[in-house]
Amino acid sequence: MARRPRKPLSSIAWLLGAIISVSGAYIVYQVRVAGMESRVQQKLERTQAAIQKIQQQQQARRELHAEAPSINPEERARQQVAARLRQAELAAAARAKEKAWERFYLPPNACIYPESDQRADVCHAWEGKARQQFEDAWASGQLQTQR
């Protein structure tokens, strides 16, 4: 059986195909633009919230410092010394915690130089679990006595 030759598409069919193609491309474009706009809007909202939080913190600091002039210079000096002592204690506690972490978690040799991304992911997961166990033990005071 011989095949019948196909009739070429009419100009209306070509026009209809072109309209459908252009419409489809336009719809895809609009969907992508809407997605990008929503992501930008979310980032903008998060940024504005962060800016507002920072402004509130700055306002609180200004109010705190506005009250400070009523304190005499000797009291201010004592407060500064106390603040420095607190900072030094916090720094010492952070160093002690970091040393305890280094004693608590020794990465396996395979994790020091992982041979693949998959191995690195596994190693990061192990370290995350170990960090969580460490944080729980540190919070309960089990590791603080082992300084």
98 and 63 housed in the same domain: no
Other Cβ atoms less than 10 A from the Cβ of 143: the count is: 19
Domain membership of residue 76 (yes or no) is: no
Domain membership of residue 88 (yes or no) is: no
147 and 102 housed in the same domain: yes
Number of domains in the chain: 2
Q: What is the mean pLDDT of residues 79-85?
A: 93
- pLDDT tens-digit map of 134-146: 999 988 888 765 5
* DSSP conformation letters of the chain: -PPPPPPPPPHHHHHHHHHHHHHHHHHHHHHHHHHHHHHHHHHHHHHHHHHHHHHHHHHHHHHHHHHGGGS-HHHHHHHHHHHHHHHHHHHHHHHHHHHHHHHH----HHHHS-SSHHHHHHHHHHHHHHHHHHHHHHHHTTTGGG-
**Predicted pLDDT at 147:** 46
Choose the final residue of a domain: 22, 38, 70.
70
Cα(8)–Cα(14) distance, rounded to whole angstroms?
10
Domain membership of residue 86 (yes or no) is: no
Whether residue 36 has pLDDT greater than 90: yes
pLDDT averaged over the chain?
Answer: 88
Q: Is 26 exposed, middle or buried (0-12, 13-18, 19+ CB in 10 A)?
A: exposed
Domain membership of residue 2 (yes or no) is: no
104 and 145 housed in the same domain: yes
Domain membership of residue 145 (yes or no) is: yes
Structural domain containing residue 29: 12-70
**Predicted pLDDT at 73:** 84
Domain membership of residue 79 (yes or no) is: no
**Predicted pLDDT at 75:** 87
Question: What does pTM read for this prediction?
Answer: 0.44
